[in-house]
């Protein structure tokens, strides 16, 4: 039995345990987060901190932010956001998101590498994930005036030009983040290959960190993978014969800052997509609800890898003849989607490999025989890029993101906008798991069982159906729902 088969069998057994114990885990994690962490959750809290402390510069602000909020951050040495000229490997942009990521802020080093002088104008950007949707703001500090003296615009066009009219966070898919320190992630760790360009950049940053007030307070725990393997029971231990060594990049909360950020933004995006569906006109949502409940029957499973997609495979029967004739079939969409995921993965890998590479000595890099890295075991790709949707859809040829994308197209919503990825990974919505995965890590046992709960695989039953108030449909099977769907859609 190969590595992947053993791994998948273990996951299946473990997931059964997770299903029985997840409620207790969720309760204990929420209790821990709310009782013991000094966090920052809302724009109003942030506003009060500025007013109460009469903050007039970014340097003053960093002194008074809650301690646990400052522990959660990612560092970007390259950016496609505003003011890229202020970002470099030595002086990266800080994206601070704390523990739960409800409120995030990003700032740059002062160009001098020191504190701002009175009169120096600097901008700080924030995003607050409110229950109604994301709120983007930009604050100007100059050391003289109060930044809140004028009303701060919510979702200004200079922000929504990139983040969208219904704003979303922007972050690349698991497990690659080109331009961020720790741009590869596997096994509960964001890491940098020793000797890579990104490793050289990190050395430059660490020289800067201790003397630059924008970075000196940031907690970190940089160790090598070989050090971690000697101290911890890792699911994928370091093997000097088969892999290169790497630096593990940690913030003050965990060894997976980039993955945590992706999980948080990914889950907020799924809420956004759920709101978009529920905001359709009453007539349209009433006609589409039978498909929603049909697809939700596919989500009634214990083990993600055993999902059968029985309703998704029969989606043609949910459409009236006219729509079947004019709309792309799910079977054709399935093929196009699968090919797009592979190509998106390849582009993402090319971007990442410029700065950071996988660690395998056996078969790292691109292979003409295996251009999409599907033969993980044979090539020793333990700490290397990973195409998650393709691994999850090997048995059925379908994955949750594919089903959601097809439904959005049926609903007349922009399926291209479904993703929060920056670097063209249009279809890849898998971020490792939900934000529940991001419990505090001691570096010894970085995994939490809920890491294996893939939100996108439970999209309709989690983010749409609870607010539809039509529970009788939950008792119907695919065939019954298909007949009702055909009738309702034919009347649209």
CA distance 1 to 96: 43
pTM: 0.88
Taking residues 11-27, report their average pLDDT. Answer: 36
For residue 6, the model assigns a pLDDT of 40
Closest CA to 390 of 350, 419, 430: 430
Q: Which residues pair with 134 in a beta bridge?
A: 129
CA distance 327 to 74: 42
For residue 447, the model assigns a pLDDT of 42
Residue 191 in this model has a pLDDT that exceeds 90: yes
**Which band of pLDDT confidence, cut at 50, 70 and 90, is reported for residue 258?**
very high
- The model's pLDDT over 386-425, given as tens digits with 9 standing for 90+, comes to 887 777 777 788 888 899 999 999 999 987 678 888 765 6
Average the pLDDT over each of 24-38, 110-124, 180-194, 264-278 and give the range with the smallest value.
Answer: 24-38
Identify the residue whose tokens are 């490999």: 353
Contacts of 168 (CB under 8 A, 6+ apart): 134, 265, 268, 269, 272, 417, 420
For residue 425, the model assigns a pLDDT of 66
Give the angle subtended at the CA of 13 by the CAs of 7 and 18, to the nearest 5°.
110
For residue 282, the model assigns a pLDDT of 92
Percent of the chain whose predicted confidence (pLDDT) is above 70: 85
- The model's pLDDT over 56-90, given as tens digits with 9 standing for 90+, comes to 999 999 999 999 999 999 999 997 766 778 899 99
For residue 302, the model assigns a pLDDT of 64
For residue 4, the model assigns a pLDDT of 45
b/e code 390-412 from CB counts within 10 Å (16+ = b): bbbbeebebbbbbbbbbbbbbbe
b/e code 239-252 from CB counts within 10 Å (16+ = b): beeebbbbbbbbbb
Average the pLDDT over each of 226-230, 330-334, 389-393, 427-431 and give the range with the smallest value.
Answer: 427-431
Quote the mean pLDDT of the chain. 85
Taking residues 150-172, report their average pLDDT. Answer: 90
- The model's pLDDT over 174-187, given as tens digits with 9 standing for 90+, comes to 889 999 999 999 88
Give the angle subtended at the CA of 40 by the CAs of 191 and 429, to the nearest 5°.
45
For residue 391, the model assigns a pLDDT of 74
- The model's pLDDT over 322-347, given as tens digits with 9 standing for 90+, comes to 999 999 999 999 999 888 888 888 88
Q: Where are the domains of the chain?
A: 43-163, 259-490
CA distance 273 to 263: 15
- The model's pLDDT over 21-64, given as tens digits with 9 standing for 90+, comes to 333 333 333 333 333 578 899 999 999 999 999 999 999 999 99
Average the pLDDT over each of 204-208, 276-280, 293-297, 365-369 and give the range with the smallest value.
Answer: 365-369
């Amino acid at each position: 039995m190969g590595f992947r088969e053993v791994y998948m069998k273990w996951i299946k057994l473990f997931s059964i345990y997770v299903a029985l114990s997840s409620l207790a885990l969720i309760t204990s994690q929420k209790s821990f987060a709310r009782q013991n962490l000094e966090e920052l959750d809302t724009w109003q809290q942030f506003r009060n901190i500025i007013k109460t402390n009469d903050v007039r510069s970014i340097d003053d602000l960093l002194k008074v932010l809650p301690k646990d909020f400052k522990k959660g951050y990612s560092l970007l040495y390259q950016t496609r956001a505003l003011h890229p000229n202020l970002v470099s490997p030595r002086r990266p942009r800080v994206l601070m998101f704390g523990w739960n990521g409800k409120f995030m802020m990003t700032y740059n080093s002062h160009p001098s590498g020191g504190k701002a002088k009175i009169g120096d104008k600097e901008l700080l950007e924030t995003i607050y994930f409110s229950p109604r949707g994301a709120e983007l703001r930009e604050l100007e500090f100059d050391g003289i005036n109060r930044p809140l003296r004028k009303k701060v615009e919510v979702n200004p066009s200079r922000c929504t030009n990139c983040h969208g009219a219904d704003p979303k966070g922007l972050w690349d898919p698991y497990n690659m983040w080109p331009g961020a320190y720790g741009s590869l992630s596997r096994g509960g760790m964001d890491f940098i290959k020793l000797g890579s360009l990104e490793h050289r950049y990190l050395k430059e940053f660490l020289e800067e960190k201790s003397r630059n007030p924008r970075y000196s307070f940031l907690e970190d725990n940089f160790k090598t993978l070989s050090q971690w393997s000697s101290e911890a029971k890792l699911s994928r231990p370091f093997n000097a014969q088969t892999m290169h060594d790497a630096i593990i990049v940690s913030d003050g909360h965990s060894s997976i800052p980039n993955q945590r950020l992706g999980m948080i933004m990914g889950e907020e995006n799924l809420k956004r997509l759920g709101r978009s569906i529920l905001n359709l006109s009453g007539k349209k949502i009433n006609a589409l609800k039978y498909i929603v409940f049909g697809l939700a029957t596919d989500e009634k499973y214990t083990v993600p890898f055993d999902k059968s997609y029985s309703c998704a495979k029969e989606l043609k029967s949910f459409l009236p003849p006219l729509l079947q004739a004019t709309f792309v079939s799910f079977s054709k969409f399935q093929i196009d989607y699968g090919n797009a995921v592979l190509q998106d993965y390849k582009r993402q890998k090319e971007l990442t490999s410029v700065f950071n590479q996988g660690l395998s000595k056996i078969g790292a890099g691109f292979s003409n025989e295996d251009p999409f890295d599907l033969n993980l075991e044979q090539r020793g790709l333990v700490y290397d890029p990973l195409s998650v949707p393709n691994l999850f859809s090997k048995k059925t040829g379908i994955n949750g993101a594919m089903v959601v994308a097809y439904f959005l197209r049926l609903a007349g919503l922009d399926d291209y906008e479904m993703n929060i990825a920056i670097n063209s990974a249009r279809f890849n919505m898998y971020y490792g798991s939900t934000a529940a995965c991001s419990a505090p890590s001691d570096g010894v046992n970085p995994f939490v069982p809920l890491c294996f709960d893939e939100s996108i695989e439970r999209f309709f039953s989690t983010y749409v159906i609870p607010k539809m108030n039509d529970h009788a449909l939950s008792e119907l099977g695919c065939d019954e729902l298909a007949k009702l769907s055909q009738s309702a859609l034919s009347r649209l």
